[in-house]
Amino acid sequence: MRKHVLILGCKNYPAFSSREVISGGMEVYVWDILRYLKGTYDFTVIAGYSKGDNKVKVISVPLVGGFALQPISLCVYSFFIAFWLALFGKKIDLVNAQTPLSGLIGLFLKKVFRIPYVVTVHIFASGEEHVGRFAKMYGAIERIVLRNADKVVSAGYQLKRFLDDRYAFSGDHVVVINPGMDFCDNVSVVPVSDMIRRELDDDTFKLLFLGRLIEENGLLDLLEAIKFLRDKPVKLLIAGNGNLEGPVKEYIERERLQGKIKLLGIVKGTDKAYLIKNVDLSIRTSYHEVFPVAYLESIAAGVPVVATPVGDTEYLAQKTGAITIVPVEQPMAVAEAIEKHRLGGSLTKEVIDRCREFIMSINWKQQARATQDMFDAVIKAKE
């Protein structure tokens, strides 16, 4: 009989399936892992504003409030649904919480119903830069939830070191299963929207910011860098959504950069693949990253990256040779790096081959297999 795994903590499923929430790497991570594992386990996903498919049961719940309140409302709804499922539904063999906050539900189910739980950690969430004045409270929740978890999965190597140091974990209590990456070939011949083709159809040096429009991605620093390059044939394309969309529009208008910066909104599917492959440089001046998949998407397409040295970015730079590191909060240094790439040309064949070799080593099929091995070990240990 196939085991039943309950997934908690995603704001929607699949990622970017609803404009009511701001999806991120966590939702993409779950979607891609389940692509490979939904033939092995029975999955139930409790998520906000979601829709299922023929192999994954999705229970969609409404989310209340803005960016900060949505995870809390999701956990409240998820608690009552998970409790009902444990009492009257199909037997739950494992809970996989995608945030320490949703891990509280896993902890409750473990204490009451002896269901093992695994917490996947995607961000340095207990730092003040993420939760502000609630850092101590969130840190206390994180400590309790992670210590009682049967296993903790870190989405990056620097994040694992942070968790081990902060909570004195030892051995393999925290394991790294970072996001994977698959190649998307033949994107030059797939259907692409007129809007994407139009933005790419000129002779400017095109930069791509791909990600959420939020403070921690350093977007305002990037806009400052573009201001320094207003006299150069450079254009920044911004793909994504978030709470900085209004301030970005105001900045563009105030600095009269309408011809230099374009907001594309959420770009998905073949449009996204085509966009990534046909720009000249991918760029993000983040204050926080874990294992930045957006950089790998560009590298997989043979496009170089400019990024700040946060999370596993320096590790990826060493592995691939395709990432130029720039200092945090220094727009002038970012502008200089952009200009150097504009004048220096594209990646060499040697670097592209090196990138492909690295990406093949972390494809999603392999990451899903690592997840399956970990799930099986936790379930077996409980039995």
For residue range 79-127, list pLDDT tens digits in order: 999 999 999 998 999 999 999 999 999 999 999 999 999 999 998 765 5
Determine the length of the chain: 383
**Residue predicted with more confidence, 127 or 24:** 24
Burial class (CB in 10 A: 0-12, 13-18, 19+), 59: middle
The pLDDT of 305-316, averaged and rounded, is: 96
pLDDT at residue 72, as a whole number? 83
In which band, very low, low, confident or very high, does the pLDDT at 53 lie, cut at 50, 70 and 90? Answer: confident
The whole-angstrom separation of Cα 333 and Cα 331 is 5
Whose CA is closest to 30, among 4, 5, 65?
Answer: 5
Residue 296, CA distances (Å) to 191, 310, 339, 356 in order: 23, 15, 22, 10
Q: What is the pLDDT of residues 235-267, one digit of tens each?
A: 999 998 888 999 999 999 999 999 899 999 988
Q: From start to end of the chain, where are the E strands?
A: 4-8, 42-48, 56-61, 94-97, 117-121, 151-154, 174-176, 205-210, 234-239, 261-265, 281-284, 305-307, 323-325
* Interior angle at CA 165, CA 164 and CA 171, nearest 5: 35
- 3 state SS of 46: strand
Q: What is the pLDDT of residues 5-19, one digit of tens each?
A: 999 999 888 887 776
Q: For residue 77, what are the contacts with CB-CB under 8 A and spacing of at least 6? A: 46, 61, 62
Two domains, one topology: 4-180+363-382 and 187-361: yes
Domain boundaries, the chain: 4-180+363-382, 187-361
Considering the chain, what percentage of its residues have pLDDT values greater than 90?
A: 64
Dihedral angle sign, alpha carbons of residues 297, 260, 220, 338: positive
The encoded tokens of residue 21 equal 């929430």
Q: What is the b/e burial string over 81-109, where b = at least 16 CB atoms within 10 angstroms of the residue's CB?
A: bbeebbeeeeebbbbbbbbbbbbbbbbbb
8 A C-beta contact, residue 120 and residue 106: no
Write down the pTM of the prediction. 0.86
Domain covering 187-361 in this structure, CATH number? 3.40.50.2000
Q: What is the pLDDT of residues 325-370, one digit of tens each?
A: 999 999 999 999 999 999 998 889 999 999 989 999 999 999 999 9
Q: What is the pLDDT of residues 213-236, one digit of tens each?
A: 988 899 999 999 999 999 999 999
Q: Which CATH number fits domain 4-180+363-382: 3.40.50.2000, 3.30.465.10, 2.130.10.10, 3.30.1520.10?
A: 3.40.50.2000
Residue 59, CA distances (Å) to 82, 199, 366, 373 in order: 10, 38, 28, 26
